[in-house]
Chains A and B, each alone.
Chain A
Amino acid sequence: MGFLNNLINGISLGSIYAVIALGYTLVYGIAKMLNFAHGDVIMVGGYVIFIAMTSFGLNSWISILLAVIACTLLGIVIEKVAYKPLRQATSLAVLITAIGVSYFLQNMALLIFGEKPVNFTSVVNVPSLKLFDGKIVISGETSTAIVISILIVVGLSLFINKTKSGRAMLAVSEDRGAAELMGVNINRTISLTFAIGSGLAAIAGALLCSAYPTLQNTTGAMPGIKAFVAAVFGGIGSIPGAMIGGILIGIIEILGRAYISPQLADAIVFAVLILVLIIKPTGILGKKINEKV
């Protein structure tokens, strides 16, 4: 039963990674850049919920909604200020800028909220499930994370494949120049991508901080990096890939922690990244990238 419990915990953590990985994968697929500040947007979302609930006494739903709005706007602003001027720059310049934005967000949070972690009150009030006479306990946070991540993947796939803006995103992701010549507004589409990715980061923040209830300025950094590993593992640019990669990384991390060594759990996750890059650089569901000659 211990194994099953660990597996469920792994799927739960993996679901959170999946939601974060979706943000990475969307932005990479459409804007062709790695937004390393994505993890820190999660932290901002966490603080917005924390403040809304503790300082203003708002209920959890309104707090989450505020966090989604705040992060969506933050995503749009980050893109406009930091990345848009670099549309024609080398990918290295954009990558370094993204790391800069990441440190900026972390240090702004440090300045405003201090270095002391705060206790986050869970936003989930779903009762825990007890199976097999209480031998397996699935907490409300766990089941919520799993359900929410599935809803998000399905919703996002429907949005991208079935709506006008989604089709524009797909077109830009395939051939930016051709899309522009067909009348698709590239700037607007990239802006929308950042808005959606950052909005999802706020939801990931709510789930993450509910499951692991301490919040500080670096809260988003490690999960952000691991979700990036998950996105690469699943095949960066692919939505189902992000989901599969996220859940597998979550399971690997929790099982590694339980059966190999708690200290080595993170190392195992990154070893997986190295293995994936050696064996199948495009990830599980990634497409072969045809370089133009």
Chain B
Amino acid sequence: MALLEVKNLGISFGGLRAVDEFNITIEKGQLYGLIGPNGAGKTTVFNMLTGVYKPTDGTILLDGENITGKSTIEINRAGIARTFQNIRLFKDMTVLDNVKVALHNHYKYSVLTGILRLPKYFKTEKLMNEKAMEMLKVFELEDKAELTASGLPYGEQRRLEMARALATEPKLLLLDEPAAGMNPNETAELMDMIRLVRDKFGMTVLLIEHDMSLVSGICEKLTVLNFGQMLCEGKTENVLSDPDVIKAYLGD
């Protein structure tokens, strides 16, 4: 069974059909790319997958569970996490605390335990710290744990966003333009990290990207969106040489 199965997904804003008849099937452990020109509806698809927008039509199955139209929190608990096109870290919080916020649902103690600092508070916080540091190590941020997130250089902020998203222990990780604004070296490092995430955590990744070196470098399959419609899908090398795709990107 596929990890993510989306059938005939569509959404209208007033009279505007932003996304129409969108289908995608992603197998567990796949690195999947969603590409298309600006305004094609890629981020809108992410917003529907994460419950920020309620789709007008269609169904979304995650690991066989129907999550269509569920709230953001329910979908996060069901196992979808994401990063953002424009970085949305908790800027004034430390790097470590950013990750700890994302561990919220996996470590429990009551408000009263926190106020009274009962033994369970210290025990749970210690476990959370260990887990968060483990995530930071994967992204080579462990030395920066106590820094404020806004103080990190751009590339590290992007990595922290991935660490934070992974800390929610998702089944599917959505990356919205992870290489945006990165130089070629940073992009190459990022590609290694995305592969590492897949191999180490057995993660399935769906990413939106304009950087074709990243897309052709790591994505196994691609879906191309244009004006809210699917233009084509398939293996990366086949899609990138498709005349329709080239036309959509470069114009006539």
Once A159-B114, A174-B92 are accepted as A-B contacts, the answer to whether A168 and B101 lie under 8 Å apart by CB is yes
| A88→B221 CA distance, assembly (Å) | 39
Return chain B residues, CB-CB under 8 Å to A171: 90, 93, 101
Q: Determine whether B70 belongs to the interface, using a CB cutoff of 8 Å to chain A.
A: no
Return chain B residues, CB-CB under 8 Å to A179: 90, 101
Q: Determine whether A115 belongs to the interface, using a CB cutoff of 8 Å to chain B.
A: no
Binding site for A on B (CB under 8 A): 50, 52, 72-73, 76-77, 81-82, 84, 88-93, 97, 100-102, 104-105, 107, 109, 111, 114-115, 121, 124-125, 128, 164-165, 167-168
| A184→B88 CA distance, assembly (Å) | 15
Q: Does B111 contact A184, Cβ atoms closer than 8 Å? A: no
Q: Does A192 contact B90, Cβ atoms closer than 8 Å? A: no
Once A170-B90, A184-B104 are accepted as A-B contacts, the answer to whether A178 and B73 lie under 8 Å apart by CB is no
| Residues from 142 to 186 in A contacting B, C-beta threshold 8 Å | 155, 159, 162-168, 170-171, 174-175, 177-186
Q: Which of A182, A185, A287 contacts B101 (CB 8 A)?
A: A182
Return chain A residues, CB-CB under 8 Å to B111: 163, 165, 192
Interface contacts beyond A167-B101, A170-B101: sample of 20 additional A-B pairs, CB < 8 Å, sorted by A: A159-B115, A163-B111, A163-B121, A164-B107, A164-B109, A164-B114, A167-B93, A168-B101, A170-B90, A171-B93, A171-B101, A174-B91, A174-B93, A178-B89, A178-B90, A180-B72, A180-B73, A182-B81, A183-B76, A183-B77
Return chain B residues, CB-CB under 8 Å to A178: 84, 88-90
Q: Does B107 contact A183, Cβ atoms closer than 8 Å? A: no
10 A–B contacts from the bound complex (CB under 8 Å)? A159-B114, A163-B114, A164-B109, A164-B124, A170-B90, A174-B91, A174-B92, A174-B93, A182-B167, A183-B77
